[in-house]
Amino acid sequence: MSDWITVKEAAARWGLQERSVTGICRSGKIVGAHKEGGIWFIPENAEKPADRRVRSGAYLQKKEKIRKPLPVGISDYRIASTQYYYVDKTMLIKDFIDDRPMVSLFTRPRRFGKTLNMDMLRTFFEKTDEDTSVYFKDKAIWKQGEVYRSYQGKYPVIFVTFKDVKYKNWDDTLEKLAEIIGSEFARHSELQTSDACNEVDKGSFRRIMERKASETELSGAFLLLTRMLHAHHKIPPIIIIDEYDTPIQQGHTRDFYDQIISFMRNLFSGGFKDNKDLSFGFLTGILRVARESIFSGLNNLAINSILDDKYSSYFGFTKEEVRVMTEYYHAEDKYNDLLAWYDGYRFGDTEIFNPWSVINYFRNNCKPGAYWQSTGSNEIIGEVLAEAGPEIYENLQLLLQGQSFLTNIETGVVYPEIRKNPSTVYGFLLVAGYLRQQSVDPSFINGYMCELSLPNREIALVYKKEVLDHLVNFIPSSTAISIQEAIYTGNTEKLQATIRQLLLQTVSFYDTAGENFYHGLILGLCAIMDSRFEIRSNRESGEGRYDIQLKPRIASLPGILIELKAAKTGDGTDLKAFAQAALDQIEEKQYAIELQANGVSSILKYGVAFRGKEVEICAALGK
């Protein structure tokens, strides 16, 4: 074919990457380009354009195609797949049909496409008057053959989303749940007059639809609705529940946990447990609520978390999907930018980009930024930080410095145990999207052993902001600045007065304030300093383990060592002498050796003693 050249030859001739030329061919910009045996052939006389359009001497110039807009915040599959640029995730349907678990739970971070995927499943499976096959005929699932197409439009579907159930008390929460469930009943209003349904069920149906049902009757809504749909349509329905855990988290943070757990247990048990009137069930959420008896006895539940390989590519964008997107929007040169800012997540065995941030990046003319912002999960982070000891603060600081650490992870969150076991913050941060698992050992006795780090630049910014926000909850910014200045300059009087004032504002919120609290407080203050110091805690140096060390990153700054002591209220301890003993310990145990070995010539040493809201500080400048 002497009048034609291959993609490889065109790429070499034009100085482009092969995938860029392939993208141009695929988009139809090279008139006459065609495929033979899976290989693109291009007119030999086609020229590389200066304005990204290819002209051929044999054909007239074609106008650039109008690019589809990006689906920012669009969770309706019909709209997203027809009016916007849509990343095809329909092979999730094939994988599900091949596997066919009775009930599937997908846990992923917020804004990773859970709601859109659930609406895709509803659109595919739901039996309606509309021919919804038109939304799939150009998608990957339709090419898989009649076996899979036969499931399309076959089932009645119950679909509810609890993503907006965020209320401060149980009464308002129950009212919102009644509204959501009642609206779904109204969507199936044909059951009110169905000859296949008995009058008792119809009476309960009307009360739930009209929001007149009791709490007990409402908690049995899914059991009732599946029974009636099965009777009417002669095929068991599918239940899809999006963001099932949102009201549970609200219940925990707003003190109506027992009520919401009891209600959800009954609601889910009726709908999913040994329900002969159910074909399949799907649930999504950020967290897997563990050991709460919500899914008590539900032995047909298949859990798909971010640590599992199955379905790993369907929530978020894969590398290839982002590459194709850069070609579509003529932004091939921005791919490395996208890698640094929004890649780095690992779901099972798949590298994943944050889809929300990638879409907003393109929408904002390829300007990088922290588009992924928190919407509520930060309350749990704040709760855990309030109970955290020095080891947790140190690990959080390591992450901010670009390092990683190894820890045990349980993907299930036990809400009542969060305050008892602050180390659960790592699992929470991982499943909520703040961390990446660099390596995973699933053979660990209790959960997984994971090496954790921050996934990308965006999360480094968001994560730092989240941590700082929660520290600022009890450390006013003006107070933090004053304490930092006093530490830098060795102004003991100012430091003591400012910390004392902070304690007056803070300690009263806690039933007890042991050494861990004071250690966390000071370490937290150090953590919100700028990046001129590397902060370490509880490390071996000399003949013992120092409490806090600030190693300067700039040669002109001093190193800082802080040793803490906490006296019990009412024990008569001379607090000044206690602070001096802490300072003497720095000298006696030779804690400065590590700093000295790293060439730090000037070292500020602080002995700090606490008792309740009292504080005494002794300081010395040494080498």
Task: Provide Rg for the chain, Cα atoms.
Answer: 30
pLDDT exceeds 80 at position 584: yes
Structure tokens given for 316: 């978020």
Q: What is the DSSP string of 440-471?
A: EETTSSSSEEEEEE--SHHHHHHHHHHHHHHH
Q: Please give the CATH number for the structural domain made up of 77-304.
A: 3.40.50
Q: Three-state secondary structure along 224-272? A: HHHHHHHHHHCCCCEEEEECCCHHHHHHHHCCCHHHHHHHHHHHHHHHH
The residue with tokens 């040494």 is 622
pLDDT reading at 11 higher than 60: yes
> pLDDT tens, 435-480?
998 888 776 545 678 899 999 999 888 776 766 555 555 566 677 7
Contact 307, 260 (CB under 8 A): no
Higher-pLDDT residue of 496 and 144 is 144
Count the Cβ atoms, other than its own, within 10 Å of residue 18: 15
Q: Of residues 263 and 58, which shows the higher confidence score?
A: 263
Task: State the angle between helix axes of 221-233 and 170-187 in degrees (0 to 180), rounded to the nearest 10.
Answer: 0
Residues 44-71 have a mean pLDDT of: 58
Structure token digits, residue 582: 């802490």
Residue 53: is its pLDDT beyond 50?
no
Better-predicted residue by pLDDT, 365 or 502: 365
Amino acid letter for position 270: G
Q: How far apart are the first and last CA of the chain?
A: 79
pLDDT on residue 42 = 82
Which pLDDT belongs to residue 54?
A: 42
Name the least confident of 112-121, 244-253, 411-420, 489-498.
411-420
Kindly state the average pLDDT of the residues 140-145: 96
CA 388 to chain centre: 21
The domain segmentation of the chain, as residue ranges, is 4-56, 77-304, 319-354, 378-470, 474-622
Instruction: Give backbone dihedrals phi and psi of 419, rounded to 5 degrees, phi first.
Output: -70, -30
Question: What class, spelled out in words, does domain 4-56 have in CATH?
Answer: mainly alpha
Nearest Cα neighbor of 67 from 391, 331, 426 is 331
Q: Identify the pLDDT of residue 479.
A: 76
State residue 35's pLDDT score: 76
Q: What's the mean pLDDT in 108-128?
A: 96
Decide if 241 contacts 194 (C-beta within 8 A).
no
Place of tokens 């809504």: 221
- Report the pLDDT averaged over residues 196-209: 97
Structure tokens at 528: 């919100």
Is a pLDDT exceeding 60 seen at residue 246?
yes
- What pLDDT is recorded for position 474? 56
Residue 348 CA to residue 289 CA, distance in Å, equals 20
Asked if residue 538 has pLDDT above 80, the reply is: no
Sorting pLDDT into bands at 50, 70 and 90, what band is 380?
A: low
Note the pTM of the prediction, 2 decimals.
Answer: 0.73
Q: Residue 163 and residue 160: Cα distance in Å, rounded?
A: 9
The pLDDT-based confidence of 527 (bands split at 50, 70, 90) is low
Q: Which of 202-216, 310-324, 540-554 has the lowest mean pLDDT?
A: 540-554
22 pLDDT more than 90: no
Average confidence (pLDDT) over 117-142: 96
